[in-house]
Amino acid sequence: MKFMDLYKGYEKRKIAMDERISSIISRSQFIFGSDLEELEEKLANYSGSKYGLGISSGHEALQLALIALGFNAGEDHSDKEVIVPALTFFSTAEAPAFLGMKVVICDIDKDTYNMDLNLLEKLINKNTVAIIPVNLFGQCIDYDKINEMAKKYNVLVIEDACQSFGADYKNKKSCNLGDISVTSFFPAKPLGCFGDGGMAFTNNEEFYQKLKKLRHHGDEGGMSHVMLGTTGRLDNLQAGIILEKFKGFDEDMCLRRNVAEYYTENLKDIVKTPKIESFNKSVYAQYVVMSENRDEVRNYLKEKEIPTALYYPNPIHLAPVLKHLGYREGDMPVAEYVCKNSFALPIYNEMARDEQDYVIEALRQVVK
Ligand SMILES: Cc1ncc(COP(=O)(O)O)c(C=O)c1O
């Protein structure tokens, strides 16, 4: 059994995918191109955002989003604070830290694993310039509350939707919930490509124009470099691949939700299964469960050739490179508890029921 069978996603649309790839190669449209433009328009429409801009990865999109919000590369930002959750992929904290901003870490909610909104407000002060909420494992945080706080204290919001493209929040879609929203097309993501890729979304024309320059070395045209940017475009070949996958995306997410809900139905009495808020529809980027004898359970599953993974083995505040921030073990008890007791089960859109039954049965044998 594979943790995630990415080949199956390709196999079912192989002919269209191969044709698209070969067409791009024969057109030799590798950097920028009509596929990228089409993808940007389609994904922006889907999310409900005015603008979508293909970026080379989710991380680069986060990095450029911060710069587009006004925190230019090469300037001193040491007095500016950016709040991030204690449980996320390191990138969320790395992007502001890379610009020399002060990273402030917020513990998470014990049920949704997203940032704890009761703690968040207490962390906002006169130095806070931005919040980067993460829609962990494919479920949105409560943006009505986040955006209300952001407005009250005049801070900006970057929606880290790297795990949540396609998720629903109330009557809106993920990627349209912050001042700038970013997603990732890393192969394992709900909408993954065949390498690295990402996209930034916004409704703000000024941010959009800046992002457009930033992904191309701050070039405003004619090699007139007005900002410090990077080589940050999404390749046209990856854009073409995503366009083909996007054709069946909603159906894929239905399949994925069915897989997740089947797990929940059959495991909820023995492990803590994901809690999805009533106003949310998750895309289950990961299916994470909790068990206090986690290591024993994982070893048993391994013996049965069932792969599992940790999201994440360590919380952000204990990252060695952030030691200077002065956080210690015990500072974020919920995130620390989740890191020690949670693990992710195999999940992919095409996962068969008998494979799931095998996982469920093995878990029922080992969980006390
Ligand atoms: C929450 C979060 N933020 C940022 C990223 C970075 O995205 P990428 O891997 O495309 O750079 C990821 C990817 O794993 C992520 O899960």
Per-residue pLDDT tens over the stretch 177-222? 999 999 999 999 999 999 999 999 999 999 999 999 999 999 999 9
Domain that holds residue 259: 249-366
Among candidate residues 52, 72, 247, the one with its CA nearest the CA of residue 161? 52
The most distant pair of C-alpha atoms in the chain lies apart, rounded to whole Å, by: 66
pLDDT of residue 236: 98
Q: If you count them, how many residues does the chain have?
A: 368
Domain-located, residue 47: yes
Which ligand 1 atom is the nearest neighbour of the CA of 285?
A: 16
Same domain, 159 and 183: yes
pLDDT the model gives residue 368: 73
The closest of 71, 66, 64 to 84, measured between CA atoms, is 66
88, 79 Cβ separation under 8 angstroms: no
Which residue, of 182, 213, 246, is where some domain finishes? 246
85 domain-assigned: yes
In tens, the pLDDT along 274-308 reads 999 999 999 999 999 999 999 999 999 999 999 99
- To test the pocket of ligand 1, the residue of 91, 194, 286 to mutate (highest count of ligand atoms within 8 Å of its CB) is 91
pLDDT at residue 93, rounded to an integer = 98
Beta-carbon contacts of residue 243 (< 8 Å; ≥ 6 apart): 20, 35, 38, 39, 42
The reply to whether 1 falls in a domain is no
CATH for 212: 3.40.640.10
The number of the ligand 1 atom at minimal distance from the alpha carbon of 188 is: 14
Phi, psi of 35 (to 5 degrees): -65, -40
Q: Whose CA is nearest to atom 7 of ligand 1?
A: 58
Centroid of ligand 1 to alpha carbon of 19 (angstroms): 29
The response to whether residue 57 sits with its C-beta less than 6 Å from ligand 1 reads yes
Q: Is 159 in the pocket of ligand 1 (CB under 6 A)?
A: no
Using one digit for the tens of pLDDT, what is the confidence trace for 263-277?
A: 999 999 999 999 999
- How do residues 107-156 score in pLDDT, each as one tens digit? 999 999 999 999 999 999 999 999 999 999 999 999 999 999 999 999 99
What is the value of pTM for the model shown?
A: 0.98
- pLDDT at position 115 is 98
Any domain includes 206: yes
* 285 close to ligand 1 (CB < 6 Angstrom): no
Averaged pLDDT of the chain? 97
Q: Is residue 302 part of a domain?
A: yes
Q: Give dist(CA 100, CA 293) in Å, integer.
A: 40
* 210 lies in the same domain as 312: no
Per-residue pLDDT band at 52 (split at 50, 70, 90) = very high
Mark whether 287 and 184 lie in a shared domain: no
Q: Does 160 sit in the ligand 1 pocket, CB within 6 Å?
A: yes
CB-neighbour burial class of residue 264 (10 A; exposed 0-12, middle 13-18, buried 19+):
middle
Query: How many separate domains does the chain show?
Result: 2
Q: Residue 65 — very low, low, confident or very high, per pLDDT cuts 50/70/90?
A: very high
Q: How far apart are CA 209 and CA 114, in angstroms?
A: 31
89 Cβ below 6 A of ligand 1? yes
Residue 61 in domain = yes
For residue 173, the model assigns a pLDDT of 98
Domain final residue pick, 246, 270, 302: 246
The reply to whether 236 and 211 lie within a common domain is yes
Asked if residue 90 and residue 22 are part of one domain, the reply reads yes
Cα 60 to ligand 1 centroid, rounded to whole Å: 9
Nearest atom in ligand 1 to the alpha carbon of residue 196 is 10
Is 161 in the same domain as 286? no
Examine the domain organization and report whether 160 and 278 are in the same domain: no
Q: What's 261's domain CATH number? A: 3.90.1150.10
The pLDDT value recorded for residue 214 is 98
pLDDT, tens digit, 9 for 90 and up, residues 38-49: 999 999 999 999
237, 269: one domain: no
Task: Say yes or no: CB of residue 55 within 6 Å of ligand 1.
Answer: no
Atom number in ligand 1 closest to CA 197: 10
The pLDDT of residue 220:
96
367 C-alpha to center of ligand 1: Å? 31
Centroid of ligand 1 to alpha carbon of 259 (angstroms): 23
**Rounded Cα distance, 218 and 104, in Å:** 28
pLDDT of residue 330: 98
Structure letter (DSSP) for residue 237: H
Q: Would you say residue 289 lies in a domain? A: yes
Give the distance (Å) from ligand 1 centre to CA of residue 59: 6
Question: Is the same domain home to 328 and 345?
Answer: yes
Domain end among 185, 218, 246: 246
For the record, the structure tokens of 343 come out as: 């693990």
Kindly state the percentage of the chain with pLDDT values over 70: 100
Q: Is residue 86 part of a domain?
A: yes
Pair 325, 343 in one domain: yes
User: 212 and 271 share a domain?
Assistant: no
Residues 142 and 175 grouped into a single domain = yes
